[in-house]
Amino acid sequence: VEVTFTFAGTSLAGKSLVAFETMLFEDAEYMVHADIDDVDQTVAIVDIATQARDGITNTSEGAATKDGKLIDTVAYTGLTPGHEYRIFTTLMDKSTNTALTGDDGLPKVGTTVFTPNTPDGTVDVTVDIDTTKLAGTSVVFFEKLTDKDESIIATHEDINDEGQTVSFPSIHTTAADGADGDKNVIANDKAKIVDTVSYENLAVGKEYVVTGTLMDKATGEPLKDAQGKEITASSVFTPEQPDGEVEVTFEFDATGLEEKTAVVFETLVKDGIEVATHADINDEAQTVNIVSDEPTPEPEPVPGQTPEPEASGKGYPKTGAVVTACAVGASACALVAFSLAGGTSAFLRRRERSEAEPSDEK
């Protein structure tokens, strides 16, 4: 005869349950079977727990690489030795609680088939993924444990479980002239560019190194200073919060680099492993122009037209020079014209009076 127990077992994961039975006959106990060590009376409630990590850093902080691997180590308890099981994992975007998809539009999943030798143990599930596209995101593993018939035995799906999560740092930069904060650097031997690096998803209390290289926008190659050396700079820092900013300062001899456009490329490294990059040759925020410190020649004035005011410094014409000259010239012309008009009028008046008066000559 069968006896069925129906109950909520969500809180019993990892426990082993033993069935004790008593048989009554005419309201009197007729038979008992109560052996806490009887294997045939025992059912294990399977439990799984996971620890996710990046395949390069071996930590919960991911590294940016096209050939990335994310590994989920699944610890299980209560399995039957010699039986075949399967672990299915799905990568979830923590911010949206939706499955990540690959270039084919399908969810990113991983599967491992295994046969345990003991009731308790661990098994790894690996997912191959281009992690360069995950900068600034956190990825969470969802797991299902099934038997060989794919009947679900246990699940572990908690979007807020830190053990199931791998986070990917991201950096964004804004470069400017170190002298006045604009986008134009004078081409002299004391050029300075300050790049403000904004970061996200960093590990608090860990040391990072951010390194920048100035690139020539026209060629896409590293920009070289007046001595022919590549221009690089670094900053070492330990974040107190996952998100923040750090500055990288480039000081170099820009003599002879007039008309060049510099773009800052940055990499972020922890424990010798590159975890984030920002390298976009067309990013205006990362771009600074190198300009001449010689003033631009003043254009010839056009008769009847007032030239536009011009700015002085950084290769720009000096403010107001042409306008002032034109204004002075115009005033002088007006004065001359006024004087000539006045002189002519006085001459005509004297002539009229002379003709009107009678002559004394006989």
Rounded CA gap, 193 and 250, in Å? 5
Domains assigned to the chain: 10-43 (no CATH), 46-167 (2.60.40.3930), 170-291 (2.60.40.3930), 296-351 (no CATH)
Rounded CA gap, 210 and 232, in Å? 11
Query: What pTM was computed for the model?
Result: 0.70
Query: What is the average per-residue pLDDT within 214-227?
Result: 95
Q: Does residue 319 surpass a pLDDT of 50? A: no
Residues whose CB is less than 8 angstroms from the CB of residue 256 and which lie 6 or more positions away in sequence, other chains included: 187, 226
Minimal CA–CA distance to 127: which of 89, 96, 158, 163?
Answer: 89
Minimal CA–CA distance to 145: which of 46, 5, 39, 251?
Answer: 46
Report which of residues 297 and 264 the model is more confident about. Answer: 264
- Pairing relationship of beta strands 184-186 and 121-129 according to DSSP bridges: unpaired
Query: What is the average per-residue pLDDT within 102-127?
Result: 92
Q: Does residue 337 surpass a pLDDT of 70? A: no
- Cα 125 vs. chain centroid, distance in angstroms? 28
Q: What is the pLDDT of residue 8?
A: 81
Query: What is the average per-residue pLDDT within 40-67?
Result: 91
What are the pLDDT digits (tens) for 150-191? 888 889 999 999 999 999 999 999 999 999 999 999 999 999
Minimal CA–CA distance to 99: which of 44, 36, 142?
Answer: 142
For residue 85, the surrounding DSSP H or E stretch is: strand 85-93
Query: What is the average per-residue pLDDT within 340-361?
Result: 47
Q: What is the pLDDT of residue 150?
A: 85
Range scoring the smallest mean pLDDT among 105-109, 133-137, 204-208, 302-306: 302-306
